[in-house]
């Protein structure tokens, strides 16, 4: 280790650089006797720069990965997302990144994403049985539902691919071979934005605090897309009471003790979670009942309410976490951290007035007494605006 010398410093910058065996913490100390000045020829004189690097103990990364479902045509939008994640967080940690597609990724996608990600990249093709109509689905019935939803202008109501995506994210992404070696995942989608530095390791936070699911935005679902999902959920609760946690968060998804669904859900385009929980028999039993009831195709069940209801029922309250300090945008909603000092410390550039947490569609975060009357009113308004 190099012995540190004492300097009169005008600037100190810290940089964590990648090394195969360990992180090396480099302190770049710019030493100048006086402010910048011109030399005898009128040119700016460059100050002397001293760089002192000292080996630091290896950072023990959590067994975790980013995971992205994307198409080859999404390359430039996912490139923006990767740049956001790397600049705000991963350039200091170098976590791996798993990319999944229902067709093979092309050379351009692989070349660009590999160059952008500071960790290792992995590319997988989704098995056909995870991205197709299961045998038990009545194709004629499903087609009629899509046509009816198109006429009602339900968002993504006539889309087949969107339904395959929701079913995949609900019950199959965590079964992919590339993810089997990991314990935690962080979902990243194309065209997202992070407004603040992430000055800690969320994966480590999840592990150290025994968290199993986390979110930054919550809102109400469109009623027409999940009209019968709670019937399937009640079927699950009746068949598998042993899978329901004692200190659960049922009140987040139901205002009447489990009789009906209030449409609240965590927005799953951002989520950090425990893969071992999703692989558990409890979650697999839950997904199997929902899948067999056909709501992914006979309605338009989204993975967000599926994940959210599962977390609310199966996990203890303290196992679900709200990351207030992670500023995030996925069109059209923004989470901007509360607290001016936090935003300054994290070098945020989001407008706190844009924060979605306490706006009408996000009353799911409000105290229960304030949500009861507002829930159906907001959900009805949302549906009428589509």
Q: Is 271 a catalytic residue?
A: yes
Average pLDDT over residues 67-71: 99
Considering the candidates 169, 221, 271, 325, report the single residue annotated as catalytic. 271
Residue corresponding to tokens 């009209």: 227
Q: For residue 41, which phi and psi values (nearest 5 degrees)?
A: -95, 5
Of residues 92 and 42, more confidently modeled: 92
Average pLDDT over residues 69-98: 98
CA distances to 104, 299, 364, 371 from 254, in Å: 41, 20, 11, 10
Average pLDDT, the chain: 85
Helix, strand, coil abundance in the chain, percent, nearest 5:
40, 20, 40
Q: What is the pLDDT of residue 28?
A: 31
Lowest model confidence (mean pLDDT) among 18-22, 25-29, 42-46: 25-29
Q: What is the pLDDT of residue 359?
A: 67
Lowest model confidence (mean pLDDT) among 5-9, 71-75, 264-268: 5-9
Q: What is the pLDDT of residue 106?
A: 98
Q: Give the Cα separation of 379 and 375 in Å (integer).
A: 6
Average pLDDT over residues 239-250: 98
Beta partners for residue 27, in sequence order: 14, 52
Q: Give the Cα separation of 188 and 67 in Å (integer).
A: 6
pLDDT at residue 177 greater than cutoff 60? yes
Task: For residue 263, count other CB atoms closer than 10 A to its CB.
Answer: 22
Q: Give the Cα separation of 363 and 322 in Å (integer).
A: 15
Residue corresponding to tokens 């309250």: 317
Query: How far does CA 123 lie from the centroid of its chain?
Result: 19
* Helix/strand/coil (H/E/C) assignment for every residue in 218-231: EEECCHHHCCCHHH
DSSP string, 188-206: --TT-EE-S---S-HHHHH
Q: Give the Cα separation of 249 and 181 in Å (integer).
A: 29
pLDDT at residue 93 greater than cutoff 80? yes
Which residues fall within 8 angstroms of residue 200, CB to CB, at 6 or more apart?
none
Given a contact cutoff of 8 angstroms between Cβ atoms, the answer to whether 212 and 283 are in contact is no
Q: What is the pLDDT of residue 59?
A: 85
Q: Whole-angstrom distance between the N-terminal and C-terminal Cα of the chain?
A: 63
pLDDT at residue 299 greater than cutoff 70? yes
Q: What is the pLDDT of residue 246?
A: 95
pLDDT at residue 100 greater than cutoff 60? yes
Strands 213-215 and 272-274: antiparallel
In terms of Cα–Cα distance, which of 193, 250, 232, 227 is closest to 379?
227
Domains of the chain plus CATH, in order, are 9-55 (no CATH), 64-322 (3.90.550.10)
Q: What is the pLDDT of residue 9?
A: 30
CA distances to 158, 226, 299 from 223, in Å: 16, 6, 10
Q: What is the pLDDT of residue 364?
A: 86
E strands within the chain? 9-17, 24-31, 49-55, 64-69, 96-101, 121-125, 184-187, 193-194, 213-215, 218-220, 264-266, 272-274, 320-322, 328-330, 333-335
Average pLDDT over residues 129-144: 98
Residue burial 278-293, b: 16+ Cβ < 10 Å; e: rest: beeebbeebbeebbeb
Average pLDDT over residues 288-305: 98
In terms of Cα–Cα distance, which of 235, 239, 192 is closest to 216?
192
Percent share of the chain, pLDDT over 70: 78
Q: pLDDT band for position 58 (50/70/90)?
A: confident
Q: Is the peptide bond before 285 cis (omega within 30 degrees of 0)?
A: no
Which residues fall within 8 angstroms of residue 10, CB to CB, at 6 or more apart?
30, 31, 32
Q: pLDDT band for position 366 (50/70/90)?
A: low
Of residues 107 and 360, more confidently modeled: 107
The model's pLDDT over 313-354, given as tens digits with 9 standing for 90+, comes to 999 999 999 999 999 999 999 999 999 999 999 999 999 999
Q: pLDDT band for position 370 (50/70/90)?
A: very low
Give the CA angle between residues 283, 285, 287 to the nearest 5°.
Answer: 65
| Burial of 312: CB neighbours in 10 Å, binned 0-12, 13-18, 19+ | buried
Q: What is the pLDDT of residue 361?
A: 60
């Amino acid at each position: 280790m190099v012995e540190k010398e004492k300097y009169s410093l005008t600037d100190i910058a810290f940089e964590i650089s990648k090394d195969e065996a360990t992180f090396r913490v480099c302190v770049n100390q710019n030493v100048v006797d006086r402010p910048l000045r011109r030399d005898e020829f009128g040119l700016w004189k460059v100050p002397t720069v001293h760089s002192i690097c000292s080996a630091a103990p290896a950072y023990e990364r959590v067994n975790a990965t980013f995971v992205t479902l994307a198409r080859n045509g999404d390359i430039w939008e996912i490139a923006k997302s990767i740049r956001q994640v790397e600049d705000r967080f991963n350039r200091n940690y170098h976590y791996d990144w798993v990319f999944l597609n229902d067709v093979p990724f092309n050379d351009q996608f692989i070349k660009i994403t590999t160059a952008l990600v500071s960790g290792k990249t992995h590319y997988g093709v989704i098995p056909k049985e995870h991205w197709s109509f299961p045998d038990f689905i009545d194709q004629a019935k499903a087609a009629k539902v899509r046509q009816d939803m198109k006429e009602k202008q339900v968002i993504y109501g006539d889309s087949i691919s969107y339904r395959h995506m929701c079913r995949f994210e609900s019950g199959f992404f965590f079964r992919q071979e590339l993810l089997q070696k990991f314990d935690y995942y962080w979902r990243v989608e194309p065209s997202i934005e992070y407004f603040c530095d992430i000055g800690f390791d969320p994966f480590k936070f999840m592990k150290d605090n025994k968290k199993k699911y986390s979110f930054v935005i919550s809102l109400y679902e469109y009623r027409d897309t999940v009209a019968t999902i709670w019937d399937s959920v009640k079927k699950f609760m009746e068949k598998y009471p042993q899978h329901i946690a004692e200190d659960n968060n049922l009140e987040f998804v139901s205002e009447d003790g489990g009789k009906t669904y209030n449409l609240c859900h965590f927005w799953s385009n951002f989520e950090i979670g425990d893969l071992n929980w999703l692989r558990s028999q409890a979650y697999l039993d839950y997904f199997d009942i929902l899948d067999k009831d056909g709501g992914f195709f006979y309605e338009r069940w989204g993975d967000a309410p599926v994940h959210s209801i599962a977390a609310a029922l199966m996990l203890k309250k303290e196992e679900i976490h709200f990351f207030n300090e992670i500023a995030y945008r996925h069109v059209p909603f923004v989470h901007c951290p509360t607290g001016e000092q936090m935003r300054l410390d994290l070098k945020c550039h989001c407008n706190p007035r844009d924060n979605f947490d306490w706006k009408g569609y996000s009353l799911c975060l409000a105290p229960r007494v304030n949500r009861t009357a507002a829930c159906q009113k907001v959900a009805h308004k949302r549906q009428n605006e589509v």
